[in-house]
Structure 1
Amino acid sequence: MTDEIELPAEMTLLWGLRETVRRGRKPSLTVADITRAAIEVADAEGLAAVSMSRVAAQLGNATMALYRYVKSKDELLLLMSDAVPDGPPDLPDDVDWRTGLTLWARGLLEVTRQHPWTAQIPISGPPLGPNSIRWFDCALRALGGTDLSEEEKVGVVMGLLTLVHGELRLSIDLSRSYAKNPQAFGRQYGMALARVVDAQRFPALSKVIAAGVFENEVPYDEEVEGEFEFSLGLYLDGVAAFIERRTTGQG
């Protein structure tokens, strides 16, 4: 029999287990209403615009009414970050682990890119909310047919999660910069580097420049997508090699 522990305040909020302070009239709001309104504000005006008062205005309510459900902006951000990725992809029961994780990673990146402000919310710990747990469970199930231990499955999923979040943050920041100054990327970037990079001081980078790597004028969106697919493939190749060692008893 396991000892019962008191759930963290964040989990009681995310899982709808917190008792709402009830005073006066019957409550006309729900935590889901507040979260939805906050996401609408962030989508339209950016994360910096999200405040308890701005969300209250979006709902047509007094600011103090929100505090009956959500205690602070930090809690509001927590709710938003869990609500943004809707359910994970519906993986077929017989899907192989690599296809499953590929679909999972692409799906997570796609839904978070639709709400770029999510990249500004700090990741404060492991998955806690129901949506985050669904995504976590989905990726773990994709590895169900492998010889990995349960601990190793968690390690693979957390590594993939790091890759996706890193790609999200990098692509959003670079897309912003590209929109302001597209000339700073691609061929012009390579030409500028060629003027200042000394082959003796930077031998490896000099070879990259000489090979014309930066002269490829691929549309920026396609380039970003290609880089993610390349990184994802490399990561999954590493996982495949690790699984092979496990299967053959070499690791």
Structure 2
Amino acid sequence: MTGRLTIIGTGPGNPNQTTPQALQAIAAGEVFFGYGPYLDRLNLRPEQQRIASDNRQEIDRARAALDAAARGGNVCVVSGGDPGVFAMAAAICEAIEAGPETWRRLDLVVLPGVTAMLAVAARAGAPLGHDFCAISLSDNLKPWELIERRLRAVAEAGLVIALYNPISRSRPWQLATAFKLLREILPVTTPVIFGRAIGRPDEHFTVVPLGEADQQAADMATCVIIGSAETRVIERDGMDPLVYSPRAAGP
């Protein structure tokens, strides 16, 4: 008996930003695995089973979902944003690679979603209009020294940088350290965008120069976008500024 495993990205939290394809998969699913707050965003029917787990239990969640699908279930694994961006699609693939042959025979579907940096970029204007990258500041799965090397390399290469997982109670110092490193490379006037819970009722959005960027403006629900030397800010009276990176960047 072979089941189906669908990995769903629900977007950044605004129900209108969940794709119709994802909504169809949610309506058809039987068992849902995910981080509790992400499952809370779904309007599940009484017969649809909900299995919540902590955000740090991704591999255990992946294995449990794969086991359920291997037993013939129509299983959904739910991520916020896009499931392939620092999320559950990679955890599922990692579990499949190390797991039994039956997991490789599953009908596996990954459905994309609007990831946080796209929601924040759209709110700001077009800061990702030219070359950019995404880096997670979490050192749970990689050493901090590697994060610093990557930050330095992409800043020197002139890429716009989207920072995921910028700060937490267990990692209160890393965003400030990242800003300090970037100030050694980029102009202090480089725009920094803080976008928290964009599209939700509790959203917070602000743009400051790198020289004034403060880690206190971020939490784990924040995506931070740091411009390149070419990124521009268009001030507008009584409105948030527009931030964009020209398509023709570089000398």
TM over 0.5: no
**Relative contact order (alpha carbons < 8 A, sep ≥ 6): 1 or 2 greater?**
2
Give the structure with higher Rg (CA): 1
Bigger proportion of residues as strand:
2
Using the size of structure 2 for normalisation, the TM-score is 0.29
Bigger proportion of residues as helix:
1
Using the size of structure 1 for normalisation, the TM-score is 0.29
